[in-house]
Amino acid sequence: MAWHHRLAGRAARLVWFVTRPRTFGVRAVVTDAAGRVALVHHTYLRGWYLPGGGVKKGEGAAAALARELAEEIAIAEFRIDRVLGVYHARREYKDDHVVVYVVSVPEDAEGSMRRADALEIAEARWFAIDDLPEDISPATRRRLDEYRAGAVGGGTW
């Protein structure tokens, strides 16, 4: 992990402890024609996660999703298939709400998936849904289990 990202993360958690902000984010279960899912490994976190991030002020959730997928995994062409769920988290002293979308990429776009921002993303890869990495984040595993079961999620992140 990059030391400057760890330092920034600690500073952010201190600010969040004092201010207890409400945040809004989006993540995506990105699938290709072979049924694989795209996961990212951040430079500042351990483990694999669904791509996504925060919704900026004045930005809609779908627009934020498009921006985050382009910024993190260089995917500009995709179709939103459904909303997997809306989740609430109180970690890191935030009141965080996350919308998780299920999106698919056309066959000609799946080969272009890669880490787009080397400062934020250490690695981006496709994984077979039944062969996920061992160090996947617990919340990501829960979301993918819901996706595999065809469930509509919601509740606690």
- Summarize the confidence of residues 119-129 as an average pLDDT: 94
Q: Could you report the per-residue pLDDT of 71-104, keeping only the tens digit for each?
A: 999 999 999 999 999 999 877 766 889 999 999 9
Q: Please state the pTM of the whole predicted model.
A: 0.85
Structure tokens at 143: 């979301």
Percent of the chain topping pLDDT 90: 67
Host domain of residue 136: 3-156
Between 153 and 25, the more confident residue is: 25
- DSSP string over 44-95: SSSSBB-SEEEPPTT--HHHHHHHHHHHHH-----EEEEEEEEEEE-GGG-E
Band (138; pLDDT cuts 50, 70, 90):
very high
Number of domains in the chain: 1
Give pLDDT, residue 13: 64
Give pLDDT, residue 17: 61
Band (3; pLDDT cuts 50, 70, 90):
low
Q: What is the DSSP letter of 16?
A: H
Q: Could you report the per-residue pLDDT of 53-70, keeping only the tens digit for each?
A: 999 999 999 999 999 999
CATH of the domain at 9: 3.90.79.10
Give pLDDT, residue 94: 67
Give pLDDT, residue 18: 63
Give pLDDT, residue 45: 86
Structure tokens at 45: 């976190």
